[in-house]
Chain A
Amino acid sequence: DAKTTQPTSMDCAEGRAANLPCNHSTISGNEYVYWYRQIHSQGPQYIIHGLKNNETNEMASLIITEDRKSSTLILPHATLRDTAVYYCIAGTASKLTFGTGTRLQVTL
């Protein structure tokens, strides 16, 4: 898996959009960008993944730069329940290597 770099922590006000950046400058052509989140003492929850096109689902949007060296996960209207550690992973489904992630704190 390609190495990813994420900010250690971020804050976001409830109701606002949370934009979580990720750098993956060494991503290879067959590697996807995956996002998972982990709420305390639970297993990781899948959010979204993409190869090169932007993706959107009911949880979030994923914006991948044209050179695929970075991406941004967007939670359009953050709620307190979105407080978690968010992991950006560049890899394939058969091999996902977790980094340290971004701890997102959503506040009132």
Chain B
Amino acid sequence: GAVVSQHPSWVICKSGTSVKIECRSLDFQATTMFWYRQFPKQSLMLMATSNEGSKATYEQGVEKDKFLINHASLTLSTLTVTSAHPEDSSFYICSALDRASGSKDFGPGTRLTVT
């Protein structure tokens, strides 16, 4: 399947700071990428859908000013958690849609801990 990478794999930051997470499609061009969040012992929840060159579409209840998404190229989307708080501590996972094959592949995830 297609390869999606994320960086960093884990990050610890202080409350009030901002953290940027990168998602890259390594062997295909992804016009659409998705950001999910997963709290312990829960399932993945879709946060937003980003399309290359346009604004992201956020799911209900997700603050777009807090979770900034940029999808400036066909292989890179970034999620910035602004003014992070301990309740933002979670496992953030991106996925990318390979329209050529129709497959949707996921990155390995980024574990964010806000202290």
Contact = CB atoms under 8 A, between A and B. Distances in A.
B7 to A, nearest CB: 13
A44 B93 contact: yes
Interface residues of B, number: 24
Main secondary structure of the interface of B (DSSP, over half): strand
Contacts of A45: 106
A93 B105 contact: no
B68 interface: no
A93 B97 contact: yes
B60 interface: no
B46 A46 contact: no
Interface stretch (B11-19, B69-77, B79-87, B107-115): B107-115
Interface in A31-46: 34, 36, 38, 41-46
Interface residues of A, number: 19
B43 interface: yes
A87 B91 CA distance: 17
Contacts of A97: 46
Contacts of A96: 34, 46, 95, 104
Interface of B: 1, 4, 6, 32, 34, 36, 43-46, 49, 91, 93, 95, 97, 102-109, 111
Interface of A: 34, 36, 38, 41-46, 87, 93-101
Given A41-B109, A46-B106, 20 more contacts: A34-B104, A42-B108, A43-B6, A43-B107, A43-B109, A44-B44, A44-B93, A44-B106, A45-B106, A46-B103, A46-B104, A93-B97, A93-B103, A93-B104, A96-B34, A97-B46, A98-B36, A98-B43, A98-B44, A98-B45
Please give me the 6 A-B residue pairs with the lowest Cβ-Cβ distance, nearest first: A43-B106, A98-B44, A98-B43, A44-B106, A93-B104, A43-B109
